[in-house]
Amino acid sequence: MSGSAGGSNSGNGRSFRSVPRKTIVLYASISLASFLCFWVLYQSLLANAGRLAELGLTNAVLYSALVTLALTPTCIVFGALRSYGLYKGQVLGATVEFGGSASVFLVVLVLGYNLLPASLNFPLTVNLHGTTSSQLLIPRKGKVLIDFGGDRRDEPISEKGQAKFSEIPANFRGKEVSIFLDAAGYELASPDQKHVLNGDSIYLEVRKKAGHVLGHVKDEAGSDLADVTIRVGELTAQTNASGRFDITIPGDQMQDEMPLEAFKAGYMPLNGKAVPNANELMITLTRRRRLK
């Protein structure tokens, strides 16, 4: 592509001094009005980003704001100051000519459209809280994950039970996203629920994960014992025909170590400890000796 460009501050043979005062005031006023319109539209866009995103009007309002912004330098440079620029060149065999005002207008519009959306990105703080006011129900390790379409992001959980995301894409404001928790011993109270990003913070209820105590009870001869009563904490269960049991421990009753009792008529009771989610317990009950 070849071309030539030239510039002067004396378009149409007139210098800046020859421009009538009324013309300068007119274009300066238009420029100021355009900038004020841009500022109002842009502030409205920031203040109502969530609602505009829901209505699908974000780009329309942004484009309108940029048009008014592009008019500001155009009116000043080529209206009040009477500057002039011209470009001529060959593009795909055709002659292309751009005047200075059109160039400035397009440059501001294109650059603004590519740069301004980044400033509309917003931070998001995910606050984790338990089903009660107890601070013990808040995970302080692990991470929170959010799916933004095909982009999954994660942030660590702080000592305050918060995960802070610094740059949420502007087009996700007002949209539903999936949020996940990766923290040992904890899970979201509503893991399948979608969450709408309307503000700069969101609160998620978490709970302790349920645990299991598994075991196998036999007698001294190695035979399976059915109908053995197993008590773990305040929960009880009976062994099946194979001498096995599985007790589910609700999250709010979970402890690192829990008391265990096993008893059956005709056998000596056994007292011990159970660790939820550990290996299967092997329990042997001894038959009571009859007194002679």
Residue by residue, pLDDT tens for the chain (292 residues) are 444 444 444 444 444 456 677 777 777 787 788 778 878 877 776 677 656 655 556 666 766 777 776 666 666 665 555 555 555 555 556 665 555 555 555 555 555 555 555 556 788 999 998 876 555 578 889 999 999 888 899 999 999 999 999 878 877 888 899 999 999 889 998 888 999 988 789 999 998 888 999 999 999 999 999 999 999 999 999 999 999 999 999 888 888 899 999 999 999 999 999 999 999 999 999 998 876 5
Q: What are the residue boundaries of the structural domains of the chain, listed by start?
A: 3-119, 122-208, 211-285
Q: What is the pTM of this model?
A: 0.51
Q: Decide if 122-208 and 211-285 have a common fold.
A: yes
Which one is the CATH code of 211-285: 2.60.40.1120, 3.30.460.10, 3.40.50.720, 1.10.150.530?
2.60.40.1120
Q: Is 185 exposed, middle or buried (0-12, 13-18, 19+ CB in 10 A)?
A: middle
Give dist(CA 81, CA 26) in Å, integer: 12
186 touches 204 (CB < 8 A) = no
Give dist(CA 174, CA 170) in Å, integer: 9
CATH topology of domain 122-208: Immunoglobulin-like (2.60.40)
**How many CA atoms are closer than 13 Å to the CA of 26, on its beta-carbon side?**
8
